[in-house]
Amino acid sequence: MDAVRLVRVSRHALAQSQASLEILTEAWQAQALTQAIGGMLAVKGPPELRGEAQGLSEAGGRGCGTIDWPTLSTGGQERSGLGVGQPPDPGPRAARLTEVPDARGALDELGGLLGEVGIALVGVACAADEGGFYWQTIEAIDAADESNDRVRGLLRRLTVWENGRLQGAAHDSAAGPS
């Protein structure tokens, strides 16, 4: 599935999430998707973006590790359909990524998703009454924010790269045949 469609599926799933652990699960899924999109852009994206895309992938990977699932499951938090003490399976979403044909569109959508994740996690943190759960939520907020910063950086670099290509093409056409 292409990146834009996959991010939109994730945004919809986050919007449907109601319980705190469902929201944390979707935050985790968003970070796994961030890692996958960053990794694909690092390998197959424009060469000028590959270094920053690798950084995005690494930030997504760190974001996947911010939640201590065993502590959450033993702390009385229930997650229907998920194994006790185990993180959610990223396979159903991030593993379905097959291509990123529109880097700008994918990054715009991913930035929107990460922003929505951050807002949803603030609501979870405000409602948290157990200290460990609260602090894990705060770490997940920080991870989403870091990933979103990386997305914005990639979008800025993409704009500079595209403008450079347009200026080069305009210069070449103005010079005419030699």
We report the CATH number of the domain holding residue 71 as 1.20.1260
Question: How many folded domains does the chain comprise?
Answer: 1
The residue type found at 117 is: V
> Residue 149 and residue 56: Cα distance in Å, rounded?
9
- Please report where in the chains the tokens 């690798």 appear, as a residue: 54
pLDDT in tens, 69-78: 666 655 444 4
CB 79 within 8 A of CB 25: yes
In this structure, are residues 143 and 59 in contact, taking their beta carbons and an 8 Å threshold?
yes
Do residues 59 and 120 make contact, with C-beta atoms less than 8 angstroms apart? no
C-alpha 117/C-alpha 84 separation (Å) is 23
Q: What is the rounded distance in angstroms from the CA atom of residue 106 to the CA atom of residue 159?
A: 14
Confidence at residue 82, expressed as pLDDT on a 0 to 100 scale? 44
**Token digits for 176?**
């005419």
Q: pTM of the full predicted structure? A: 0.83
Averaged confidence pLDDT in the chain: 86
Nearest to 37 by CA among 148, 134, 176, 133: 148
Is residue 178 in a domain?
Answer: no
**Is residue 177 assigned to a domain?**
no
Q: Cα separation of 84 and 70, whole Å?
A: 7
Q: At 70, list the tokens.
A: 């065993």
Give residue 145's domain range: 3-172
Instruction: List the pLDDT tens digit at each of the 178 positions of the chain.
Output: 999 999 999 999 999 999 998 999 999 999 999 999 999 999 999 888 999 999 999 999 998 886 776 666 554 444 444 444 555 554 568 999 999 999 999 999 999 999 999 999 999 999 988 788 899 999 999 999 999 999 999 999 999 988 887 676 666 666 666 5
Whole-angstrom distance, CA of residue 34 vs CA of residue 107: 9
8 A C-beta contact, residue 6 and residue 33: yes
Separation between Cα atoms, residue 52 and residue 153, nearest integer Å? 8
